[in-house]
Amino acid sequence: MVKVAMVSDLHFDINKVNTKQALVYQSRWLKENQIGVYLIAGDLFNHFDRSLAFAEKLQKMTPNTVIRFVAGNHDMVNDISYKDLQKPLSATYLHRKHYDVPNTDWRIIGNNGWYDYTFSAVLHRPDDAFWHWKRAYWIDGAIEQPMSDPQRFAQELQVIERQLQQAQQDNKRVLFMTHFVPRIEYLHITSDNRFWNMANAMLGSVRMGQLLAQYHVKKVLFGHLHIHPAPREFEGTLYYNQSVGYGTARRREWLTATFQSEWLARVKVIDLSNKSE
């Protein structure tokens, strides 16, 4: 049996967290709780270099815990190109890669993810309308890419499907980690032109949930939405959103007083074991 701790959307810089203290505290907690794998589903900083540095420093400080993260949209805003995001930059960066949990039949597959506007299909708008709205109002407008959003998502979906096919061939149960939202059930949707209906287009894809159900993925960790849902099961897959979110004066999403206490409240520990155990 291996303990896996899961969290997302730490937003260290926006929350003005002392990262040296966070490294010490999280490393100590991981050791004390004998965590085998620590997963972070994106949005550590608004700079990819700082997100990668945090994961690598934490790995060095906690050698008996495997540290893995994927990039969220905030991580992609600065210090990284689209081309470099696809590279195996570090053992800690799990995008388009996998990690087989020792002494179990579990495989953790990671993909940053993206979106294709299907969450806002009810608006019946052309893709260009969502693209221009994103460029004007959404932080992702600062993220350069050589293709449209639906094209980018379709590319990632193909990569994920190949990984899921290989996991089936290898008789592995899958814990899938991504940043963007894989199920429309988590969203508030109406058919008018309110802000959130356009923003929904940039949150994820209906097709991701369909693919995960098709391949009978057992567990999914995602982020992006700063909400506090209990784990939910859809079509045989158990979904976890463990976002820490914002604790600023303008956007107070925390249920506790400090980053440390909120992180402790949001980090989720699950056990992965062999089928025979």
- Tell me how long the chain is: 277
Contact (Cβ atoms closer than 8 angstroms) between residue 85 and residue 95: yes
Question: How does pLDDT run across 100-131, given as a tens digit for each residue?
Answer: 999 999 999 999 999 999 999 999 999 999 99
pTM above 0.95?
yes
Q: Which of 48, 122, 158, 153 is nearest to 92 (CA)?
A: 48
Mean pLDDT on 224-237: 96
**Token pair listed for 109:** 């597959």
| Residue 238 reports pLDDT greater than 90 | yes
- Between 13 and 276, the more confident residue is 13
Residue 38 has pLDDT above 80, yes or no: yes
Judge whether residue 277 has pLDDT over 60: no
**What is the percent of the chain with per-residue pLDDT over 90, rounded to a whole number?**
92
Walk me through the domains of the chain, giving residue ranges and CATH numbers: 2-272 (3.60.21.10)
Q: How far apart are CA 125 and CA 106, in angstroms?
A: 41
Q: What's the mean pLDDT in 13-20?
A: 97
> Rounded distance, CA 122 to CA 181, Å?
17
Is residue 206 within 8 A of residue 181, CB to CB? The reply is no
At residue 13, the pLDDT reads 97
Q: What percent of the chain has pLDDT over 70?
A: 99
Would you tell me how many other CB atoms lie within 10 Å of the CB of residue 169? 8
Q: What's the confidence (pLDDT) of residue 274? A: 77
pLDDT the model gives residue 190: 77
